[in-house]
Amino acid sequence: DNILASWNALMIQGLCAAYQATGTASHLSAAQRAADFLAERMTMPHGGVYRAWRDGVAKVPGFLDDYAFLANALLDLYESAFVPRYLERAMQLVDLIFEKFWDDGLYFTPSDGERLVHRPRAPHDNAWPSGISTSVFAFLRLYELTGKDHYRDRAEHVFRTYGGAAAKNPFGFAHLLAA
């Protein structure tokens, strides 16, 4: 009964990879059901994402990683099923990333979230890829699918921002370097 949006997104990605590798329709169906659950139960009225589901209630507005992981999962689902609503929702999530998390770069918390003394950025990849690097993957994938330059421009901005740090510590930026 405890569900995190990011974990559900990773499950969708795994199911899509299994479907693409095997053609087993039940994998695709399970990924679609998981995406439908997130759309129906963990989506805010304005289109944002809740971070957690517990005891039948969506709680806690999402952070950058929740939006980024879900956008990539929906892109995987679009590439598996070619259902336009998955691409459209991924684009909506990335637009919300630009609106809520971008201010000359990406922040971990939304601009309309709880007021903090210091609004953090979390660029380092750890055991779990950062929301920043995962967002860059979504930006580049959407650029390739749509040809819209603003996706590529934002990705390049992130590369310029963290390129020096990534060169000094490639292990801390492995997912960003993969992008």
Q: Which of 16, 138, 122 is nearest to 71 (CA)?
A: 138
**Distance separating alpha carbons of residues 159 and 136, to the nearest angstrom:** 9
DSSP H/E element including 53: strand 50-54
Residue at 170: amino acid letter: P
Q: How far apart are the first and last CA of the chain?
A: 34
**Distance separating alpha carbons of residues 163 and 124, to the nearest angstrom:** 12
pTM: 0.95
Q: What is the pLDDT along the chain (179 residues), one digit of tens a residue?
A: 567 888 999 999 999 999 999 999 999 999 999 999 999 999 999 999 999 999 999 999 999 999 999 999 999 999 999 999 999 999 999 999 999 999 999 999 998 888 887 788 889 998 889 999 999 999 999 999 999 999 999 999 999 999 999 999 999 999 999 99
